[in-house]
Structure 1
Amino acid sequence: MTESPKWRKLQKMLPPVPDRAGLLASARRHRVFLALLGLALLLRIITLLGYRWAIWFPDSYPYVDVALHPRPDPVRTFGYPLLLMVLRPLHSVGAVVVVQHLMGLAAAGVLYALLRRPHLFRGKRALPGWAAALAVTPVLFDGNQIELEHLLLSDTYFLLLVTAAAALVLWSPKPSARQVVAAGLLLSLAIITRTIGTPLLIILLVFLVIRGVGWRLVAGGLAAAVVPIAAYCGWYASENGSFALSGTDGVFLYSRTMTFADCDKFGDRLPVDAYALCDSTPPEQRPVSHFYVWEESQIFRYPGGIFAPYKSDLARTFAKEAIVAQPGDYLKAFLTDFGRTFRWDRPIYPDPKTYSYYVFPEETQEYWPGKADMAAQYDDQSTATRVVEPYAGFMRGYQKAVHLPGTVLGVLLLIGLGGILARWRSWGGVALLPFGYAMALLVIPPATVLFDYRYVLPAVPFAAVAAAIALRDLDAWRRSRGAPDAEGASGPAEPEGRKEPRVAVVS
């Protein structure tokens, strides 16, 4: 039977299937990473055995509800419920967290493979396997990362999407149209999953312009991202009355300013109907900002849901006036929260209840009151999280001992920044993209809502990649400085009149 031309063409497009010897050779080249990957997988298996079969966060219930009754929710965008819908036929939250753990490992694998690409580095010398594996160890082994993967939350899914998008445009010295379009599509899904992905799209497009890929490719990537986002915003508008991704930005920004806002300093600029949002409590006695969304009375003085469109508009107006009237106080509030990112320790913040969700629990967790029937439509297990010893105890101890201190993250960022400044002639080089991702993910939450440990973790792998590129470039520069020049390579200069004929030696 002869092969058709189409089949032969398809075979040429596909990578060749390696034989046994090729697989063994590849395994030897990547043996350090594969060994670490196996250990990281073992830790996740222990987590699954100790916490059956997932850990429910307050946001988990709305996410599952949206997956069961699809709609554009004003608070939680549709990306993660879409994933839950895809996995719903399995009727298992355990299957969901298994997928999330695999996503975490996949993100580490993508970044490891990226760091083995020679063109990323000065002198076209790729990182050795052990160094690339070391750069992704925070994703593989950080106890807080493993716990986050076990929560029914969008964060791990979001991390994989933005990691894959970055890898696509960095994979080749000059990305192809397909790579740019695919990256745009992945970032559109990331933005529909978590709106903090929006600035990442801007960073990606600016990076492509700087790299000189051409306006057609930039326009193609932009279109690939904007079309799905616009379609979702249209669906949202049909249900909620405004063309947007969500209805939370105004209320969240208002909550950010409520740690310092003093209405006496606004003059007469604040609309009369917004005065009910003021708080007469002295700023130093007020709770952290997110209480002004969920618990403090100000936003509840108005009828309707917390994120009703008119409330969001009114809260946004209040927040803008607070920032204009008190720019120094806003900057101080932002810097105070941003500074928490780089502490060596991990104090309880923003409050004990929220902090407790970011550590492995000691006792079996029941469903929230009134939520068991809804949860049973997705998975009919009797409890939200069943704690099984000794596996759970091992992971609790592991999480306390193994995590990346914030100070180390700060050092990684400084190294990455140094590498970008060293490549100032090329606008920072390839490290500009991962460094920009890391900074955006770290800066935007404390600037618009508050600092939260959960928001720090997705930035860590990008900071590590930027630092790895910078350190490799530094090593290449050091080698070039230490290498003898063309004249010195031939040894000491010979005295006049004693020059010997030179013989070329080919090895």
Structure 2
Amino acid sequence: MRRLPRPPSRAALLAFAGRHRVLLVLLALAVVLRIVTILGYRWAIWFPDSYPYVDVALHPRPDPVRTFGYPLLLIVLRPLHSVAAVVTVQHLMGLAVACVLYALLRRPHLFARGRALPGWAAALAVAPVLFDGNQVELEHLLLSDTYFLLLVTVAAALVLWSPRPSVGQVTAAGLLLSLAAVTRTIGMPLLIIMLVFLVIRRAGWKAVAGGLAAGVIPIAAYCGWYASENGQFALSGTDGVFLYSRTMTFADCDEFGDKLPVDAYALCDSTPPEQRPASHFYVWEESQIFRYPGGIFAPYKSDLARTFAKEAIAAQPGDYFQAFLTDFGRTFRWDRPVYPDPKTYSYYVFPETTQEYWPGKAETVASYDDQSTATRVVEPYAGFMRAYQKAVYLPGTVLGVLLLASLGGVLARWRAWGGVALLPFGYATALLVVPPATVLFDYRYVLPAVPFAAVAAAVALRDLDTWRRFRKTPEGAGSATASPENEEPRVAVVS
């Protein structure tokens, strides 16, 4: 009979705690912060998308707007009949993201000459995930973002964990990114980035093929299911309408109207661009898309909207780029102004008063969790979290600095095609660029990029410090161009 492994000794546990003491202290504080959140907002905060997610979980189907990944998580947790359990799991996911990235940053092979980050520095790099008030609030929303972030984080860690990832690691990462793509469609470009990274890093054709198959086959299967229900081979039916809304901040039909099909003319807006609302209003509130019969994302509407958007971009590329840059620039503001409108912004801050269910939604929600109110606000816990969120968050300008440091690290390793920092930098860039390029800037879309920008910046700054120290050694002083960046990492003791 095979003997079970012995539990670690007290001395081993104390040694582990000593090595990771900074992280453990930060984790304890972060746990307290989340407990206060749960006590203050019982038992979840509801977003407009929360109700459709619950409905899809109760009646499984490929929805044209909300992909199936998050409802699948709700289905798994449904036997608990508790939204409190859902947000508790999401808070644990946020903590898990920090732990995974911390462990990754302690791997010597990621850094020049094997000089891994010391524990305090790795803990500092993941602190935004643990303590950003907006991140904590996002975890308490019934939304897909925290789940998506965990999937992408674990996928990145699998690929970067070893100097040369195994076929199994890459295949598992591909599966996780396929699930991420079915959770939020931006997972698709992240899958492509991972595969390109593996090719550049010469991971081997078996690993690349395994990641490709594991990523593409589940996505294709879901698209097939979606096509059987909605008539389109796609992850969702939103891309055409969303891209149309993106162009409506600048589109002038006088520039390209003669190239539009006749039935697309109703999508034009004669209001001067400078007087138009934010782009998302053209999906949910402005009249243009509602002039056509059927649902907002009916396939023929999506096709017309996509055609309109392509013609607008082709005729006004400069205006499109300016609209993108304007929205992208909002990412890096020091302050956090109300945008795109007070109603939407209010969902991203802890509410002051108890929230009732939307009219007609209580009965549907009751099938999942029979709570009398959507969100019950309990003081003084709620008041503490409202004040905390206003005071503790990562300013966009700091994120911009992290991104620039990441870019510097990638460029410094140009001989190695950017080195290992290329993957987290690519993830952070894609997560920040794709939304304003295809829909609009939204505060919730920024948060998943922060951990990857922090990881890439940590690698870059550590390598810079290694290069500085290397130049002072007799080995490095002999050459003005000496650099340790392309050497095979040496085994190093992590302090």
For residues 79-478 of structure 1, what are the structure 2 equivalents within 5 Å? 79-478=69-468
User: Which residue identity does 2:273 align to in structure 1?
Assistant: P
User: Which residue identity does 2:176 align to in structure 1?
Assistant: L
Distance 2:320 2:231 in 1: 31
Distance 2:330 2:455 in 1: 22
User: Which residue identity does 2:272 align to in structure 1?
Assistant: P
Deviation at 1:342, TM superposition (A): 0.2
Distance 1:472 1:94 in 2: 40
Distance 1:268 1:411 in 2: 45
Determine helix, strand or coil for the equivalent of 1:52: strand
Residues 268-277 or 141-150, more deviating:
268-277
Deviation at 1:363, TM superposition (A): 0.1
Distance 1:392 1:487 in 2: 58
Counterpart for residue 35 of structure 1? 25
Distance 2:149 2:211 in 1: 19
Report the number of matched residues. 478
Deviation at 1:268, TM superposition (A): 1.8
Q: Deviations over 1:282-321 (max 9, x none)?
A: 0000000000000000001111100000000000000000
Residues 228-237 or 128-137, more deviating:
228-237
User: Which residue identity does 2:294 align to in structure 1?
Assistant: G
Determine helix, strand or coil for the equivalent of 2:66: coil
Distance 1:66 1:290 in 2: 23
Distance 1:294 1:474 in 2: 48
Q: Deviations over 1:168-217 (max 9, x none)?
A: 00000000111000000000000000001110000000000011011121
Distance 2:266 2:34 in 1: 48
Distance 2:264 2:8 in 1: 67
Q: Deviations over 1:458-484 (max 9, x none)?
A: 000000000000000001000100112
Counterpart for residue 77 of structure 1? 67
Distance 2:346 2:90 in 1: 21
Q: Which has the higher contact order (CA 8 A, sep 6+)?
A: 2
Deviation at 1:231, TM superposition (A): 0.9
Deviation at 1:486, TM superposition (A): 9.1
Deviation at 1:487, TM superposition (A): 10
Determine helix, strand or coil for the equivalent of 1:87: helix
User: Which residue identity does 1:449 align to in structure 2?
Assistant: V
User: Which residue identity does 2:413 align to in structure 1?
Assistant: R
User: Which residue identity does 1:221 align to in structure 2?
Assistant: G
User: Which residue identity does 1:227 align to in structure 2?
Assistant: I
Distance 1:83 1:213 in 2: 32
Deviation at 1:19, TM superposition (A): 2.1
Determine helix, strand or coil for the equivalent of 1:360: coil
Counterpart for residue 55 of structure 2? 65
Q: Is the Cα–Cα contact under 8 Å of residues 67 and 183 in structure 2 kept in the other structure? A: yes
Distance 1:75 1:435 in 2: 29
User: Which residue identity does 2:436 align to in structure 1?
Assistant: P
Deviation at 1:17, TM superposition (A): 4.6
CA pair 25-274 structure 1, distance change in 2 beyond 3 A: same
Q: Is the Cα–Cα contact under 8 Å of residues 333 and 396 in structure 2 kept in the other structure? A: yes
Distance 2:359 2:60 in 1: 23
Distance 1:195 1:267 in 2: 30
Determine helix, strand or coil for the equivalent of 2:311: helix
Q: Is the Cα–Cα contact under 8 Å of residues 470 and 476 in structure 2 kept in the other structure? A: no
User: Which residue identity does 1:46 align to in structure 2?
Assistant: V
Amino-acid identity (%): 85
Q: Deviations over 1:14-43 (max 9, x none)?
A: x87532211110110000000000000000
Distance 2:214 2:13 in 1: 36
CA pair 486-323 structure 1, distance change in 2 beyond 3 A: closer
Determine helix, strand or coil for the equivalent of 1:47: helix
Distance 2:145 2:411 in 1: 31
Distance 1:421 1:83 in 2: 39
User: Which residue identity does 1:229 align to in structure 2?
Assistant: I
CA RMSD of aligned residues (A): 1.2
- Max Rg structure: 1
User: Which residue identity does 1:114 align to in structure 2?
Assistant: L
User: Which residue identity does 2:265 align to in structure 1?
Assistant: Y
Distance 2:350 2:258 in 1: 49
Distance 1:485 1:470 in 2: 22
Gaps of 5+ in 2: 479-495
User: Which residue identity does 2:411 align to in structure 1?
Assistant: L
The TM-score, its normalising length taken from structure 1, stands at 0.93
Correspondence for 2:35 among 37, 40, 45: 45
Correspondence for 1:21 among 11, 16, 19: 11
